[in-house]
Amino acid sequence: GSMKPTLMIDDRILVQKVTRYIGDGFKRGDIVVFYPPSVETEVYEDSILGRFIPFFPENPPAFVKRVIGLPGDQIIIRRGEGVYVNGQLLEEPYVKEPANYDRYNMESISGVNARGNFIRPYQGNGAPIVVPEGKLFVLGDNRNASADSHVWGFADQSRVVGKVCLIFFKKQWFGGLLGGEDS
């Protein structure tokens, strides 16, 4: 449920896959499907070179998140307030409650946790992040329950599958007719 309430578990979406190749590219607010940079990797420390080497599984899971920052944008996340892009507080009616987390350093890696995810050191609430060329800053609408750019850094535009252009089935539209609860 990282995209609640916009997308719920079991919702069905239509993805426009040609976004990267034609059209006007990505816009702030787009919902994109992509392969994240580190969440789906297994990371091993090379004992000879002393560095972390990622290995990608054959079929990594794709993620669905909202584009918040484009290349060149300055992002500031303020706990309990919201997200600022280039000095302007984003109006985000789709977010139920503001993020209750702090910024991580997107450039340095300080270690690897037991699950193989990169850990980035805390740099302080409200510190600016500048989105590099070829990258996107993406967040889930359910900010406090989402593995996204605040955890693993920028999404690479080359790993974007496409933009969500239609939600064509939402389980909640049918209420209790389908049985079970909406997640």
Q: Which active-site residues does the annotation give?
A: 2, 65
- Please identify which residue in the block is written with the tokens 């997308």: 7
The amino acid that residue 128 corresponds to is P
Encode burial over 78-114: b for 16+ CB neighbours within 10 A, e otherwise. eeeebbbbeeeeeebeebeebbeeebbebeebeebee
- Is the Cβ–Cβ distance between 120 and 104 less than 8 Å? yes
CA distance 183 to 165: 22
Burial of 147 (0-12, 13-18, 19+ CB in 10 A): middle
